[in-house]
């Protein structure tokens, strides 16, 4: 456990998952814990996470569930199925148009902030520091957090208007809080990630870390504050419903069922579900949009191809890109998928456990019962036998509709996990991503600090790009005129 924690937390020029990936190129199976095997070939993704897999969630998820059960941490399959049925209808694609106006409202506010930071266009190879006025990562995280909170709880937190992620509330004793939602959610990830997977000794490691590491203690307390903020938001949302507000959001089925009776869920679990929805619902789309924008700007031919596709369906009257016009655009979706392939928001290994009393075959290997197994999305998405030239950003690889190669890629593509435990919020995040990215590419021009500039990351449970300094300017009228006349 000490070695694992040190490996996760040590400073390095590469994230933990890349270091593990590089090691797996030499050894296709590596033991990364006392009872934990990580795999290096994409077949393992199907064997571990696919619909036919008999593997179940590992013990770390049971530990997380002690603080409240949600769709991410419930290991009992029948209970998970019941909880999923409770909320599934509200996550269904048929509701995408219901979410769109909430997303569009936040995109519009994001554009207002971008317009304030626009500079004059230029064609220099190196951008002056003062012109890098827009940090794409910072503002896109605020956008995602604001949009997902509107969809989940019908609550506008004003993150984009205010330019920060502060949630202000009072606890039950009247104490005032000001909690930075995104920052504190990330802080608890930094604290828990090195320790969580030693389930039996977690409490001891937590106590020792709190005692000897001031940074750990600070991060852990920030996680407590994040939980208090979500609890306060949940209680407020329930009060609104009790006062007669009819709100069509993702929280509603956790308050009452279709018959109007109280939902069969504890308050502890309700808060846990909301906490998971807001935490993952922020990180997932924020990372994906940031990375897609980074790759598109870094590789201008992809930016130009996406803009040409958008020019075919959009007009100047579309201030914010309508979902109805872009939901079936193949290259837009390919750009998003390729960004999530190279930089999956949940890049790390997701632990599963083989069934008791029987051996399991994973990538041709006989694995003993009750063994923790995993493959990271980062590694599964870089298998050269499936993804040709795997380190290249190439959206075109996703356009081979109906081909065997595409079927092979989709079978091991796991940014949302896979099988019965696949992310239920996939339809939500695609709307949040597509409407924002299409609007930015259609309306704005971008420059990175210089040619060859590369993104830097932090990784614990999720992969977080650190910053995306951009020079931004409005697309010129002549460009629109040329596109419309061609």
Spatial strand order of the sheet with 56-57 comes to 29-33, 36-39, 372-374, 352-353, 56-57
Q: Phi-psi bin for 163: left (phi > 0), alpha (psi -120 to 50), beta?
A: left
Check whether 423 is labelled as a binding-site residue.
yes
Show the 3-state SS of 334-389.
HHHHHHHHHCCCCCCECCEECCCCCCEEECCEEECCCCEEECEHHHHCCCCCCCCC
Dihedral sign of CA atoms 36, 48, 354, 73 in order = positive
CA contacts within 13 A on the Cβ side of 400: 12
Q: What is the C-alpha separation between 403 and 303, in angstroms, rounded?
A: 25
DSSP-assigned states of every residue in 37-68: EEE-STHHHHHHHSTT---EE-HHHHHHHTT-
Helix, strand, coil percentages, rounded to 5, for the chain? 55, 10, 35
Report how far Cα 417 is from the mean position of its chain's Cα atoms: 11
Which residues are part of a known binding site? 423
Which residues define the annotated binding site for heme? 423
């Amino acid at each position: 456990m000490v070695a694992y924690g040190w490996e996760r937390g040590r400073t390095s020029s590469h994230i933990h998952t890349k270091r593990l990936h590089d090691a797996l190129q030499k050894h296709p199976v590596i033991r990364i814990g006392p009872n934990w095997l990580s795999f290096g070939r994409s077949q393992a993704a199907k064997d571990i996470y696919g619909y036919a897999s008999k593997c179940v969630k590992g013990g770390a998820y049971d530990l997380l569930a002690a603080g409240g059960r949600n769709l991410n941490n419930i290991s009992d399959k029948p209970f998970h199925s019941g909880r999923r049925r409770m909320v599934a209808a509200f996550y269904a694609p048929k509701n995408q148009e219901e979410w769109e106006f909430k997303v569009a409202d936040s995109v519009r506010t994001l554009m207002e902030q971008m317009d304030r930071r626009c500079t004059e266009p230029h064609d220099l190879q190196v951008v002056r520091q003062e012109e890098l006025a827009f940090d794409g990562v910072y503002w896109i995280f605020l956008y995602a957090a604001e949009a997902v909170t509107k969809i989940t709880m019908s609550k506008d937190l004003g993150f984009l208007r205010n330019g920060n992620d502060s949630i202000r509330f009072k606890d039950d004793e009247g104490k005032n809080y000001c909690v930075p939602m995104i920052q504190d959610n990330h802080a608890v990830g930094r604290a828990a990630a090195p320790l969580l997977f030693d389930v039996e000794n977690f409490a001891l490691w937590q106590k020792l870390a709190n005692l000897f590491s001031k940074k750990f203690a600070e991060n852990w307390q920030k996680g407590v504050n994040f939980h208090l903020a979500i609890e306060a938001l949940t209680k407020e949302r329930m009060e609104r419903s009790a006062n007669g507000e009819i709100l069509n959001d993702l929280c509603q089925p956790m308050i009452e069922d279709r018959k109007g009776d109280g939902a069969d869920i504890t308050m502890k679990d309700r808060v846990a579900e909301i906490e998971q929805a807001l935490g993952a619902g922020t990180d997932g789309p924020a990372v994906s949009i940031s990375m897609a924008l980074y790759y598109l700007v870094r590789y201008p031919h992809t930016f130009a191809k996406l803009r040409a596709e958008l020019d075919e369906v959009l007009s100047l009257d579309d201030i914010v890109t309508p979902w109805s016009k872009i939901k079936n655009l193949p290259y837009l979706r390919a750009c998003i998928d390729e960004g999530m392939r190279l930089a999956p928001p949940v890049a790390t290994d997701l632990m599963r456990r083989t069934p008791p009393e029987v051996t399991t075959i994973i990538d041709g290997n006989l694995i003993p019962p009750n063994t923790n197994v995993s493959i990271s999305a980062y590694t599964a998405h870089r298998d050269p036998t499936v993804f040709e030239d795997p380190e290249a950003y190439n959206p075109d690889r996703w356009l081979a509709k109906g081909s065997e190669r595409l079927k092979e890629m989709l079978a091991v593509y796991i940014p949302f996990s896979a099988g019965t435990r696949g992310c239920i919020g996939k339809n939500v995040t695609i709307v949040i991503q597509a409407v924002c990215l299409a609007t930015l590419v259609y309306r704005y021009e971008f420059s990175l600090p210089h040619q060859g500039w590369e993104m830097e990351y932090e990784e614990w449970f999720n992969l977080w790009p650190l910053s995306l300094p951009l020079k931004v300017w409005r697309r010129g009228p002549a460009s629109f005129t040329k596109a419309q006349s061609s």
